[in-house]
Amino acid sequence: DAGITQSPRHKVTETGTPVTLRCHQTENHRYMYWYRQDPGHGLRLIHYSYGVKDTDKGEVSDGYSVSRSKTEDFLLTLESATSSQTSVYFCAITSSSYNEQFFGPGTRLTVL
Amino acid sequence: LAKTTQPISMDSYEGQEVNITCSHNNIATNDYITWYQQFPSQGPRFIIQGYKTKVTNEVASLFIPADRKSSTLSLPRVSLSDTAVYYCLVGAGTRGSYIPTFGRGTSLIVHP
């Protein structure tokens, strides 16, 4: 399995609090992605990165920000969590934008 | 951005061959076709990727007609463990121009 971890794996928080999810890779892959998965919606791309300090928005980026200060870490931040952001969040990595993506184990976030 | 359409769900029985077709009418010249499999509570896993004609690996085959407006994932002799959601993705690109779109996928249920 690709060396990709996510932390925390589970988190319960309250509306209005900031939350940061971390994706860490040991593969030195260039591309990293954050997705959310909700029933009836499949996986939807939030943000992605194509290099250190190079990031861009996906289809559901409102309410989220990201940062990538080094190759191995891609952080997803919810500045002020809302109940609509309750979801399972997956991080993925790939060496090339059209090559196979390797996914992390996911983070289950509940916003009360 | 190439949009894909695939059946929401399919049922099959152990030992049968399963074919899942994905439509992608506006596929671009440099787009690849990639399929992923996802089990409950796990991130998607790469199955197969192709550009044209036929690709086969130890898990599945991918058939792509000459016009490339559709593709068919073929799973030979499925077992209960093949019960999963299968996603078809179309895209390519460099430096962040490719935004992976998973959609809702096809939920395959294999019955005894």
The confidence score (pLDDT) of residue B95 equals 45
What's the pLDDT band for A87 if we cut at 50, 70, 90? very high
* Residue A64 near residue A49, CB atoms below 8 Å: no
Residue B93 maps to a domain = yes
d(CA B20, CA B67): 18
Nearest Cα to A31, choosing from B27, B97, B34? B97
Range(s) of the domain holding residue B56: 9-111
pLDDT at residue A84 greater than cutoff 70:
yes
Range(s) of the domain holding residue A29: 4-111
Residue B86 maps to a domain = yes
Q: What is the pLDDT of residues B79-108, one digit of tens each?
A: 999 999 999 988 765 444 567 778 789 999
pLDDT at residue A38 greater than cutoff 50:
yes
Is A90 in contact with B43 (Cβ distance < 8 A)?
yes
Residues of chain B with C-beta less than 8 angstroms from the C-beta of A90: 43-44
Decide if A97 touches B, using CB distance below 8 A. Answer: yes
Contacts within 8 Å (CB) and 24+ apart, B54-61: B60/B35
The confidence score (pLDDT) of residue B58 equals 93
Decide if B42 touches A, using CB distance below 8 A. Answer: yes
Which regions in chain B score pLDDT beneath 70?
1-2, 92-98
Number of domains in chain B: 1
* DSSP secondary structure, B20-63, as one string: EEEE-TT--TT-EEEEEEE-TTS--EEEEEESSEEEE-SS-EEE
Residue B100: give its domain's CATH number. Answer: 2.60.40.10
Residue B30 maps to a domain = yes
CB-count burial class (<10 Å; 0-12, 13-18, 19+) for A80? exposed
Residue B70 maps to a domain = yes
Q: Which residues have a Cβ under 8 Å from the Cβ of B73 and sit 6 or more positions away?
A: B19, B20, B21, B22, B35, B47, B48, B60, B61, B62, B86, B88
Residue B2 maps to a domain = no
Residues of chain A with C-beta less than 8 angstroms from the C-beta of B93: 97-98
What mean pLDDT is reported for chain A?
Answer: 93
The confidence score (pLDDT) of residue B81 equals 96
The confidence score (pLDDT) of residue A80 equals 96
Which H or E run contains A88?
Answer: strand A87-94
Number of domains in chain A: 1
Residue A43: give its domain's CATH number. Answer: 2.60.40.10
* DSSP secondary structure, A4-49, as one string: EEEE-SEEEE-TT--EEEEEEESS--SEEEEEEEETTTEEEEEEEE
The confidence score (pLDDT) of residue B96 equals 47
Nearest Cα to B86, choosing from B44, B56, B54? B44
d(CA A24, CA A4): 6
Residue B65 maps to a domain = yes
Q: Which of the pair, B71 or A96, is modelled with greater confidence?
A: B71
Decide if A27 touches B, using CB distance below 8 A. Answer: no
Residue B3 maps to a domain = no
Six token digits for residue A27: 């593969």
| Least trusted range by pLDDT, from A17-21, A79-83, B28-32 | B28-32
d(CA A48, CA B55): 29
